[in-house]
Amino acid sequence: MRYLTIALGKGRLADNTMKLFQEIGITCEEMKDKNSRKLIFVNEEKRLKFFLAKGPDVPTYVEYGAADIGVVGKDTILEENRRNYEVLDLAFGKCRMCVCGPESAGELLKHHEMIKVATKYPRIAKDYFYNVKHQTVDIIKLNGSIELAPIVGLSDVIVDIVETGSTLKENGLTVLEEICPLSARMIVNRVSMRMEYERINKIINDLKGKL
């Protein structure tokens, strides 16, 4: 039997995924060692391989077939826009993609003015402003701490993930519009879905039973 390979986004996403997998009898002892710098882990008995990648790279590994299955946030799936099947909402890592800014920026959104939007998610921001709101905007790509942008005058608003809302609150910003809900999702390579249908479908169904 060939290995089924599962790509996980490093960090909390991978930890939560392994907890869920443990509930359906899939474990990986090697992975529990938090001090390890290893990136690939094997469950010989079940012929499974797990590897840890940067979140945004997970859909790429899956699209090219280097991984059969991936677990990654819906934000990453939308932003990377890779050709994979999204098969399951794992219901953890729940948060929202929002347009945020100072209260005063709300007016700029109402009147379809040309505004500056800072974000780590240019594709999601572009799709929302161009195709949903029909508003022409200037999108500025940043790599993190997005909340800084409107505070220091780089942008009028931001498009970013809001979980508890405390980062916004502590920086005097607020949610102005909600784009979409987010959570961790399972994705599958399109060829693997056909070639390994039984094994992959069993994992999906077992997980469904626990959600």
Binding site for ligand PRP (CB under 6 A): 120, 144-147, 160-167
Give 147 or 196: the residue with its C-beta nearer to ligand PRP.
Answer: 147
Minimum CB separation of residue 179 from ligand PRP in Å reads 13
The CB-of-76 to ligand PRP minimum distance in angstroms stands at 12
Closer to ligand PRP by CB, 141 or 208: give it: 141
In the complex with ligand PRP, the residue whose CB is nearer, 75 or 196, is 75
Under 8 Å between Cβ of 112 and 133? yes
Crossing angle between the packed helical segments 197-210 and 12-23, to the nearest 10 degrees: 90
Nearer to ligand PRP by C-beta: 10 or 46? 10
Structure tokens at 63: 């699209």
* CB-nearest residue to ligand PRP: 144
Least separation in angstroms between CB 22 and ligand PRP: 25
Annotate 166-201 with DSSP letters as a single string.
HHHHHTT-EEEEEEEEE-EEEEE-HHHHHHTHHHHH
- Measured CA to CA, the distance from residue 169 to residue 6 in angstroms comes to 37
CB of 31 to ligand PRP, least distance (A): 22
CA 157 to chain CA centroid, Å, is 21
